[in-house]
Amino acid sequence: MLARAQPLDVVVLAGGRSSEHDVSLSSGAAVGAGLTDAGHRVLAVEIGRDGVWRRDGEALSVTPGTGLLDADVVFPVLHGPFGEDGTVQGLLEMLDVAYVGAGVAASAVCLDKILFKQLMASVGLPQVDHVGVDAERFARERAQILGEIARLGLPVFVKPAHLGSSVGIVKVSDEHAAAAALEGAFAHDERVIIEAAAAGIEVECGVLGAPRGESALASEPGEIAFTGEFYDYAAKYTPGAMELRIPAGISATARDRVRELALLSFRAGGCDGLARVDFFVDGERVLVNELNTMPGFTPTSVYAKLLDASGVAYPELVDRLCRLALERHAARRARLH
């Protein structure tokens, strides 16, 4: 148990309009239990698939500048569009309430897989070869784009740019299937990323802390082992389909490089509070793949397990995230805008 600091009133915001609605509800329930164990009072707010915010089944009305339910801090355990993409963060800024996690700009950039890769390239971080495509450009330049994809080699992975939990990902091993895979991905998102296959194993690293002042913590890296062809939705959420191995089966040099790149990605992305950074590791070669500003948050989710293996138990983890959010909010309020 944590040493009891001043208890907080925490709104746990979960659900949302994205395809990750149910995953978010599971994460939100776990966060609420962890906060309760840490001695805090939890105010659960669910965002329905219709986008309506509800508390105890009753629709909520909010007014800019007045906070949310008189809470000290909001924990937006939201995944994907309409929650992890800066939209809800912007609303919370307008309400003038402290909230856990990345701010508006970092949330928007890091959820967009294409923008994130462009940002990482601008600071020289190594990553997987890729092509980003908008639906409008694909309609105009279909043959040219298929040529760009062909130059990546096969297989490639076609992904909606803004979705998490591996929703909508297709592995393409036949060049004639690329166009159909793109059309399928555009049904989920107007922006699609196509990534070259990367050698090696999948490794993930959790980050906890603030990019300013005190250094953030990069967790012990974990190796993702799975039974399918790639780490898809079924591998993530089917019991027994995925195993997280901590520590990862990589060299000490690669381990240090993963942790270094996790922190560099976190800071370059303008993140705050938390992130999970995903890598491909092949011997001593480490490539950044993605960064999640609000990863899955059940005690059995990868992020929580990585932090637990690094000495931060679940109740302490959610407590520290709330304290970090309060510190950031107070620092921003102290400035003139």
Catalytic: which of 18, 265, 292, 301?
292
Helix (H, G, I), strand (E, B) or coil at 202: strand
Catalytic: which of 17, 191, 257, 276?
276
296 tagged catalytic: yes
| Long-range contacts at 138-143 (CB < 8 A, ≥ 24 apart) | 138/182, 138/186, 138/192, 142/179
Catalytic: which of 290, 308, 316, 319?
290
Q: Phi-psi category of 326—alpha, beta or left, where left has phi over 0 and alpha has psi -120 to 50?
A: alpha
Catalytic: which of 15, 17, 18, 20?
20
276 tagged catalytic: yes
User: Secondary structure of the chain: what % helix, strand, coil (to 5)?
Assistant: 35, 25, 40
Any idea how long the chain is?
Answer: 337
Strands 9-15 and 41-47: parallel
The neighbouring-strand residues paired with 202 are 224, 280
20 tagged catalytic: yes
| Whether the Cβ atoms of residue 39 and residue 320 lie closer than 8 Å to each other | no
CA–CA gap between residue 78 and residue 99 (Å, rounded): 12
Catalytic: which of 237, 270, 323, 327?
237
Catalytic: which of 18, 165, 265, 310?
165
165 tagged catalytic: yes
290 tagged catalytic: yes
204 tagged catalytic: no
Tokens found for residue 46? 């669910």
Catalytic: which of 46, 72, 189, 278?
278
Catalytic: which of 17, 296, 319, 320?
296
Question: Which residue numbers are catalytic?
Answer: 20, 165, 237, 276, 278, 290, 292, 296
